[in-house]
Amino acid sequence: MATYAIWNNKGGVGKSYLTFQLACEYARTHPHEPVLVVDLCPQANSSGMLLGGIEAGERILDDLSSQTSSKTIAGYIEDRIRSPYVNPHTGSSYLTKVKDYNHDVPDNLYLITGDEQLEIQASRVLAATAPGPTDAWRIVHTWINDLIEDIQQVWNKTDTTVFVDCNPSFTIYTELAMSAADRLVIPFSADGSSRRAVRAVLALVYGVTRQAGAQQSQFFLNSQQYRLPIPQIYCYVGNRMTQYLSSAKAFKAVVTEIGNEIWAVWQNSPNVFHIHPPGAQTPSRRRDFVNMFQYEVPDANTASVVSSSLGIPIVALTAGQKTVAGRTVMVNQSQLERQQPNIQELVRNIE
């Protein structure tokens, strides 16, 4: 059990969609464990899906964030801005049980909802990282760890599985997500800039530079200075590749390019990867490496739209006519079969 951040430095690659699907499927297959989603994105897209889909979820999000002390991530961050260096232990009061709002999700799924206020708070969070005490940077970067611990305490558990949805930009709240995460899931899509985005992830989080002597990211340097762990790469997920590329050859070329970037990091720093499942041999050949770390989640077309619009996890969605935003649409069994097994396989590989 661990905290998984779903992040890529690029927008629209499926971070929120995968957070929604993975958390729901993980909760379904682990019914005796509470499962937490922390939505650290001001757009709050995964919260919207979890809370019943784009429309219904939006209304609930508005309700939760309009309470006197927003029952969202922003409520907690406000507490921390007020008390940056002394843990107020208020985290669990911001928890939402997802099933209270969406009957299509498992009972054991909980959420700290995202909130657009995060964007407004960002400058004050950053201001708290310096000056303050000498280790102000470190303390602020453990706020989300504190939040998770507060929740574990009320659950009376020390070990839980947490999924953290992130904003694409490497802002202060994305840094907080990276510091809280044990493991990183990197979704990517097949459009031209995907390779650059994956390179950016490797540079920003792992200090991988393209030329010897080039400046490393401040996040990486500070994490080292303050001995704050950074997440290990758990997998990279080609998401929705078929949406952009019709030919299998073009698809393969993009995956190979991105695989090359990640393979190069593996060769220099295998310690930044998380070998899984438990007991698995450390890969020695490229093929074994790919088998361990590379996944694919195809586009499920209308089924995906229905799943995210109505907040019904893809694995729980059935074929047939559905109503989305007043329109009748058809979900085909073949669409479901294109994506359900891949989400299930990815979740089976999450410890």
102 binds ligand ATP (CB under 6 A): no
Checking 150-157 for CB contacts under 8 A at 24+ apart, the result is 150/89, 150/90, 150/91, 150/92, 151/36, 151/91, 151/92, 151/95, 151/110, 153/89, 153/92, 154/92, 154/95, 155/34, 157/33, 157/34
340 binds ligand ATP (CB under 6 A): no
304 binds ligand ATP (CB under 6 A): yes
Piece in contact with Mg ion (CB under 5 A), picked from 43-51, 87-95, 311-319, 321-329: 43-51
Residue 194 beta carbon to ligand ATP: minimum distance, rounded to whole angstroms: 12
User: Rounded distance, CA 49 to CA 57, Å?
Assistant: 6
- Fill in the per-residue mask, 157 to 186: x = in contact with ligand ATP (CB under 6 A), - = not in contact: -----------x------------------
Q: Would you say the C-alpha torsion 179, 234, 3, 78 has a positive or negative sign? A: positive
Piece in contact with Mg ion (CB under 5 A), picked from 40-48, 76-84, 264-272, 326-334: 40-48
Residue 46 beta carbon to ligand ATP: minimum distance, rounded to whole angstroms: 7
Per partner kind, with CB cut-offs from 5 to 8 A, the member of Mg ion, ligand ATP, none near residue 135 is: none
45 binds Mg ion (CB under 5 A): yes
Interactions with ligand ATP, residue window 283-302 (CB under 6 A):
297, 299-300
24 within 8 A of 105, measured Cβ to Cβ: yes
CB-wise, 98 or 314, nearer to ligand ATP? 314
Size of the residue set binding ligand ATP (CB under 6 A):
18
239 binds Mg ion (CB under 5 A): no
Beta bridge partners of 166: 40
Residue 98 beta carbon to Mg ion: minimum distance, rounded to whole angstroms: 17
308 binds Mg ion (CB under 5 A): no
CB-wise, 136 or 305, nearer to Mg ion? 305
- CA-to-CA separations, 198 to 101, 132, 157, in angstroms, rounded: 35, 34, 34
DSSP type of residue 84:
S
Map residue 296 onto helix, strand or coil.
strand
CB-wise, 16 or 90, nearer to Mg ion? 16
Residue 22 beta carbon to ligand ATP: minimum distance, rounded to whole angstroms: 11
338 binds ligand ATP (CB under 6 A): no
Phi, psi at residue 13, to the nearest 5°? -90, -5
Q: Find the residue with minimal CB distance to Mg ion.
A: 16
Residue 304 beta carbon to ligand ATP: minimum distance, rounded to whole angstroms: 3
Rounded (10°) angle between helices 302-310 and 54-66: 30
50 within 8 A of 98, measured Cβ to Cβ: yes
Residue 297: which of 346, 264, 247, 330 has the closest Cα?
346
Give residue 123's Cα distance to chain centre. Answer: 22
- Fill in the per-residue mask, 4 to 23: x = in contact with ligand ATP (CB under 6 A), - = not in contact: -------xxxxxxx------
Element (H, E) at 4: strand 3-6
Burial (0-12, 13-18, 19+ Cβ within 10 Å), 243: middle
16 binds Mg ion (CB under 5 A): yes
54 binds ligand ATP (CB under 6 A): no
Q: Which residues bind ligand ATP (CB under 6 A)?
A: 11-17, 41, 43, 45, 168, 239-240, 297, 299-300, 304, 308
